[in-house]
Amino acid sequence: MSDANERHLQRAQAELRAGGAVLLRDDQNDVLVMSPERAAPDRLAALAALTGAPADLLISRRRAALAGLVAPIDSDDPRGVEPVAAPIRDIHDPSWRLAADPMLSGDGATARAHALGRLRPAGRASAAAIALAKRGGLLPALVAVERPAGQLPGAAATLDPVVIDARLLKEGQIAAGHLTQVAEARVPLADAENCRLIAFRPADGGPEHLAIVVGEPNPAAPILARLHSECFTGDLLGSLRCDCGEQLKGAIRAMAASGGGVVLYLAQEGRGIGLINKLRAYALQDRGLDTVDANLTLGYEADERDFRPAAEMLRALGHTRIRLLTNNPAKVVALGTHGIEVVERVPHAFPANGHNAGYLSTKARRAGHML
């Protein structure tokens, strides 16, 4: 993807987060979208009034199933990510939001039946719109007007949308890599006084990733490495709901004891759904869902992370063969796919406490973690 396209994609993401409109186009359809999480009610009403027909609630098939709008679908069914659209009978009636936001309370089934029309499959541009919402850390639920290419009314211009080619959001086309090293400093740590932090910035304007280089790792041998997704609650606050803080500190201690290693501290909070949505998932877990079902209920996949940046960071540091500190076999597979040889998986488990036993059990039972 060119630098110009990456900047344009970033502008569209920012506009959606700010409550504005984005128009996504491909060779089949145009879809004009806003986020009900961010857009003001009058803006949503203006979008709905464009054609004289109801605007749609645009969500994934899995989210629609969990909201009771379609038949249940297995959590690992690949059709779950397909977009579907339901006409919003009255944009001024807040009950339609129940299908988009699982945090809302009330008689959900009755409200949804009253507020929404019959679901139908949505087009490729709509799938790109949902991907854009995810990139912006928003709930993947949008208010949309979808029409055949070139047939949106001229009044759409009054919403001043950012116009973007939907193909830029095609799976695998977004440049998760293309990182640039932008800063480096020595930062002595309590468990590793000989330590450097190296910051990498992605070309698409997303958040920076950090390499924590402990000691003097030898590039001629497989180094000890860990892929650690940032966790504000666990790493910084010492939350007992997860094992992230223990894993981070434990990795640094292990590397210091062995003479060196690299922790890749990745800006992928909450398995890639962001801090706000992670807190929403926690609230759903307090209502009885496990960590996997909470993410699915929000409209995300169980794990939205991309480990391509980790592979690029390792190559930039001169390491292509590693001993990986992890309990997650998916990380081993992902790194291999992106050109990093994992010569050994080094177990990295810590005892459960009274708050995270269920979380750890779910990781083992439903995500295949070796605990």
Distance CA 143, CA 116 (A): 12
End-to-end Cα distance, the chain: 39
Distance CA 99, CA 103 (A): 10
CB contact at 8 A, 317 and 340: no
Please check if 28 is assigned to a binding site: no
Q: Is 305 a catalytic residue?
A: yes
Q: Which long-range contacts (CB under 8 A, 24 or more apart) does 38-46 make?
A: 38/138, 39/143, 41/92, 43/19, 43/159, 44/91, 44/143, 45/91, 45/92, 46/158, 46/159
Please check if 271 is assigned to a binding site: yes
Q: Scan for tokens 């990498």, then name that residue.
A: 200
Please check if 124 is assigned to a binding site: no
Please check if 120 is assigned to a binding site: no
Q: Which of 107, 59, 52 is nearest to 86 (CA)?
A: 59
Please check if 106 is assigned to a binding site: no
Q: Write the DSSP string, 112-140.
A: HHHHB---EE--HHHHHHHHHHHHTTS-S
Please check if 10 is assigned to a binding site: no
Please check if 228 is assigned to a binding site: yes
Catalytic hit among 63, 97, 124, 305: 305
Strand partners, 214: 195, 261
Please check if 247 is assigned to a binding site: yes
Please check if 195 is assigned to a binding site: no
Please check if 270 is assigned to a binding site: yes
Q: Which of 293, 331, 340 is nearest to 312 (CA)?
A: 340
Name, in order, each residue with C-beta under 8 angstroms of 350's C-beta and a sequence gap of 6 or more: 243, 246, 247, 250
Please check if 363 is assigned to a binding site: no
Please check if 92 is assigned to a binding site: no
Please check if 201 is assigned to a binding site: no
Catalytic hit among 290, 303, 315, 366: 303
Please check if 231 is assigned to a binding site: yes
Q: Which residues of 262-291 are buried (b: 16+ CB within 10 A; e: fewer)?
A: bbbbbbbbbbbbbeebbebbbebbeeebbb
Please check if 291 is assigned to a binding site: yes
Please enumerate, by residue number, every residue annotated as part of a binding site.
226-231, 242, 244, 247, 269-271, 291, 326, 331
- Annotated binding site for GTP: which residue ranges? 226-230, 247, 269-271, 291, 326, 331
> Which residue numbers are catalytic?
303, 305
Annotated binding residues for Zn(2+), written as ranges, equal 231, 242, 244
